[in-house]
Structure 1
Amino acid sequence: MNDESYDVRIWEIMKRKGRKPTVRWVVGGVLPPFRRTFSTVPLADGFRSKLMVATNRGEPFSLTDGLPLSWEREAPGPPEPTPEAPTWYRHALKYCDMKWPHAAANSRSGIAEALAVVTAALIHEDQSDAPEPQTLRDALYGWAFNPPKRAQEPTPEIAHAIDWIEDASVSLADVAKPAVIRQALDAVALTMEGKKAATSTFSRKRAILYNALEYAVELELLDANPVDKVKRARPTYQEAVDRRVVASPSQVRRILAEVKKSRPALVAFFGCLYFAALRPAEAVRLRPENCHLPKRGWGYLELTGSSPRAGSAWTDSGNTHDDRSLKHRSEKEVRTVPIPPELVALLRWHLDTFERSKDGRVFRSVRGGPLSESLYGHVWSEARAVALSEAVAATPLAERPYDLRHGGVSLWLNAGVGAPEVAERAGHSVNVLLRVYAKCIDGQAHVANQRIQDALERMVDPEPVEPTDAEGEAEPGESDEPG
């Protein structure tokens, strides 16, 4: 393997109050950067100038120590944490880099968020010159744990925060201590505002922390995962859909009528969420060739993928939406969803009336790109407020566009469609379907009540039978019950 590179970027000298000036530079795009600390700014500036001269001459630099190959090997500066004893921050960087190439955009963002929360919590005590919490979060979430961003020179504020966390981060060996790992678990249980996090958020972040420590075990940096040693009550995670969000067909149609008045190009989009129970990301990905729309009767949609919004900082393409396979399905797997004549008519009308997006999608944003969550969420909120009474609008009923999918699946189940068929159309497993939508199946209580009532009316207590002389009477104090 080639151990040299001509790709060298030299950063500005890091000057921090109460700390010695530090020169940092990157060779071959490999991060974290090389560092040299000096007692005075002139000494640091002199060393940086030598690096600049070698760069301007086009000299190759070593990927091992970061110095020009023409230089005699110098004694290294202050030692960095070694691979045998890294800090938590350095290990978290390595874990992030390992996960990034194979993770979906939203997963990348989730990993960065969890690692940022944990890293900010796992620091030595009595740290002076600490950055503002929001600046530290921006440095960790938006730069350190985003490899493409990390390849760019940070702003002075971000650089200061990163330099601070380099010194403040506890060692990975310390994380193995029960008190420290409990500190990390407490951090993922709270929001940035210090409030209790949702159970789903806690579970997701805890899983990332656990996986990062499993990676340390894999690298033989830890003997065992320290999370297993800490007994901490896990919050109960309620997956079931709140039945209060499920709207009736007439309520959905009233809201769609208001959408048609204000933003007619979105009526068919919301129709796909309800009548076909699509996830919003699946409807965003829909193309005309996926729509089979006969003039009469039922049609069907062939779903080949989804386009969840993740943000351009987390996608490989730099687009805000991440085109990927269907949820929990392989890359080339297709899901077929039959659609009723009402949705067939809506889609036929939409395709005849409105333009496609720039890349050929059925639904588009105002500027022609993929339909954005902020746009359709705002339109739905306004139409819902007009279509529903004030009292109903104050409830969770169809509060979010995603609740249309819940309404569609609940409608199918209550219509008596078998769970395997509903699960296939909705893209669930049967187990998940019944667990999530168990509380949304209506009509069963009435049937159960009637059966109980019938039983109560049929079962009449028999007349008491007086004991005969032959049978004998029980003596006082004796019981007829077996002893």
Structure 2
Amino acid sequence: MKSLDVKIWSVRKRDTKRPSYDARWSVAGQVFSESFRTKGLADNFRSKLMRAARDGEEFDTESGLPGSMAEKKATLTWYVFALKYLAMKWPHAAPSTRDGINESLASVTMALLNDRPGRPADAVLRKTLRNWAFVLPGPDSRELPVEVGNALDWVAKASRPLSDLTDPALGRAVLDSLKIKLDGTAAAAETVRRKRRTLVNALHYAVDLGEFRENPLSAVRWRKPKVSNEVDPRVVANPEQARSLLHAVSYVGGYRRARGRRLVGLYAGMYFGGFRPAEVVGLSEADLVLPGSGWGTALLHRTRPSVGKQWTDSGESHDDRGLKNRPTEDVRRVPIPPQLVAILREHLDTFGTAEDGRLFFSESGGVVSSSTYYRAWQDARVLALAPAVAASPLAQRPYDLRHSALSTWLNAGVDPTEVAERAGNSVEVLLSRYAKCLDGRQEVANRRIEDLLREYE
């Protein structure tokens, strides 16, 4: 039966072990309630009830809901929904974000497949989902190899209904599957958290589409893996070690071939300037002020991260974008010390620039790939460091030169606000990441405690 006799009460908080909030209302004298994890969700539900009552909608006396709020059973399969979500996110996502969305959707899809006859090998399914299904333009817009087409047809038929995710046990199983990478090995904690974020965001989109009333994962008790954002102090190179490593780079590949010499300035930018790798790869001569002596300046506004051709709109392996976590037109002015000024001046005198003014480029004039400067760095570590040190985490990655730079500045007593400005971080992020890399604080604390105790001897 339907009725217009509706009363709606304020949201009520329930003080249980896990606090919840109740939206309560009555239809024809019969009381109904719905519990929510947060007051915001409860208020939103109550607002919908109020709107329906104001619009004169009749409420059902069995479910207690107006027709506009009667929950529809999700009819999409997970695979079809995932393609819709990808099409919504792709145009506005950075290439690296597209890669992450692709990986997450592929992982969840593998976990939401029914056992049907003719299942392709898992390796084929993973490769098909990663390289064809969740890359735009989608599989319907491209000519597919026979094996890929057959695999996608099987996935479309075997994919479980999106509505199955309302089962908390299945939700937990899907979340647990995020702990395993597509190659079957254990995923790092940060990878798990990133994939979970994508899944949660996708299910919020399902709510927007009216497939769910609220995110079905809200009912799942699942502990997220802990992620440490602190920099390991063992990776930080001191100034003497850094100079030895930069010197060794010039010998990588032989002096005449100049493979390593072309990269000395690139690594020096990370160490002396605190630049991110993608920032120094995109650095142009026009961005620099390099006086004959003293400090210079770099105006950073462009990054060239290596992301893969399938993720960029241009079809190039490197994206061309602004600074990380900044508006596209933002510029960061970074003072650069005389040591870096001299190295960059020498680099320009020796190698010049690429056609577009970039300082660092391959022999063919292209963008320096991350694999190129990573391999050269590994060779330089073997040349510069004793075997035991080379086997340690010290400056294991080129990015560790940036960690070394920021740690050195902080330990030198530079104000954290200034360090954060030069590094392009917030002060909070800076101090939380480099807390373990600040030398000398323990000794200061020890002296203060010792002095205090002496007063009572």
| TM-score class normalised by the smaller sequence | 0.7 to 0.9
Q: Within the alignment, does 1:131 sit opposite 2:120 as a pair? A: yes
Equivalent of 2:204, from 214, 232, 236?
Answer: 214
Q: Is the 8 A contact 1:108 1:314 kept in 2?
A: yes
Q: What's the C-alpha RMSD, in Å, of the aligned pairs?
A: 1.4
Q: Is the 8 A contact 1:122 1:183 kept in 2?
A: no
1:250-296: CA deviation from partner (whole Å, max 9, x where unpaired): 00100111111221111110000001111100011101011111111
Judging changes above 3 Å, is the alpha-carbon distance between structure 1 residues 433 and 242 closer, same or farther for their aligned structure 2 residues?
Answer: same
Q: How does 1:159-238 map to 2 (within 5 A)?
A: 159-238=149-228
Q: By how many angstroms is 1:196 displaced?
A: 2.9
Q: Is the 8 A contact 2:249 2:263 kept in 1?
A: yes
Q: How does 1:301-320 map to 2 (within 5 A)?
A: 301-320=298-317
Q: 191-200 vs 302-311, which deviates more?
A: 191-200
Task: Please give the secondary structure, in 1, of the residue aligned with 2:298.
Answer: strand
Question: 2 CA distance for matches of 1:202 and 1:360?
Answer: 40
Task: Please give the secondary structure, in 2, of the residue aligned with 1:96.
Answer: helix
Q: By how many angstroms is 1:458 displaced?
A: 2.9
Q: 361-370 vs 448-457, which deviates more?
A: 448-457
Question: 1 CA distance for matches of 2:290 and 2:301?
Answer: 17
Equivalent of 1:118, from 108, 130, 149?
Answer: 108
Task: Please give the secondary structure, in 2, of the residue aligned with 1:310.
Answer: coil
Structure 1 equivalent of residue 30 of structure 2: none
Question: 2 CA distance for matches of 1:326 and 1:285?
Answer: 10
Task: Please give the secondary structure, in 2, of the residue aligned with 1:184.
Answer: helix
Q: Which structure 1 residue ranges, 4+ long, deviate > 4 Å from structure 2?
A: none
Q: By how many angstroms is 1:83 displaced?
A: 11
Question: 2 CA distance for matches of 1:97 and 1:384?
Answer: 44
Q: By how many angstroms is 1:84 displaced?
A: 5.8
Q: By how many angstroms is 1:134 displaced?
A: 1.6
1:67-123: CA deviation from partner (whole Å, max 9, x where unpaired): xxxxxxxxxxxxxxx996110000000000000000011111110110001001101
Structure 1 equivalent of residue 22 of structure 2: none
Q: By how many angstroms is 1:455 displaced?
A: 2.4
Q: How does 1:374-413 map to 2 (within 5 A)?
A: 374-413=371-410
Equivalent of 2:327, from 322, 325, 330?
Answer: 330
Structure 2 equivalent of residue 147 of structure 1: 136
Q: By how many angstroms is 1:235 displaced?
A: 1.1
Structure 2 equivalent of residue 11 of structure 1: none
Q: Is the 8 A contact 1:357 1:370 kept in 2?
A: no
Letter in 1 for 2:123: Q
Matched pairs, number: 378
- In the alignment, structure 1 segments of 5+ residues that lack a partner are 1-81, 461-483
Structure 2 equivalent of residue 104 of structure 1: 94
- In the alignment, structure 2 segments of 5+ residues that lack a partner are 1-71, 253-259
Q: By how many angstroms is 1:172 displaced?
A: 0.8
Q: Within the alignment, does 1:239 sit opposite 2:229 as a pair? A: yes
1:350-378: CA deviation from partner (whole Å, max 9, x where unpaired): 11110323433110023210011111111
Question: 2 CA distance for matches of 1:193 and 1:141?
Answer: 11
Question: 1 CA distance for matches of 2:234 and 2:319?
Answer: 31
Question: 2 CA distance for matches of 1:84 and 1:227?
Answer: 15
1:167-214: CA deviation from partner (whole Å, max 9, x where unpaired): 100001112211221121011111234343211000000000001110
Q: By how many angstroms is 1:457 displaced?
A: 2.7
Identical aligned residues as a percent: 49
Q: By how many angstroms is 1:459 displaced?
A: 2.0
Q: 215-224 vs 174-183, which deviates more?
A: 174-183
Task: Please give the secondary structure, in 1, of the residue aligned with 2:446.
Answer: helix
Structure 2 equivalent of residue 3 of structure 1: none
Question: 1 CA distance for matches of 2:243 and 2:138?
Answer: 45
Q: Within the alignment, does 1:357 sit opposite 2:354 as a pair? A: yes
1:290-329: CA deviation from partner (whole Å, max 9, x where unpaired): 1111111101100012111110111000110011111110
Q: Is the 8 A contact 2:284 2:359 kept in 1?
A: yes
Structure 1 equivalent of residue 82 of structure 2: 92
User: When the two structures are superposed, what TM-score results if normalisation uses the length of structure 1?
Assistant: 0.77
Q: Is the 8 A contact 1:308 1:323 kept in 2?
A: yes
Task: Please give the secondary structure, in 1, of the residue aligned with 2:86.
Answer: helix
Structure 2 equivalent of residue 415 of structure 1: 412
Judging changes above 3 Å, is the alpha-carbon distance between structure 1 residues 83 and 356 closer, same or farther for their aligned structure 2 residues?
Answer: farther
Q: Is the 8 A contact 2:73 2:163 kept in 1?
A: no
Q: By how many angstroms is 1:454 displaced?
A: 2.2
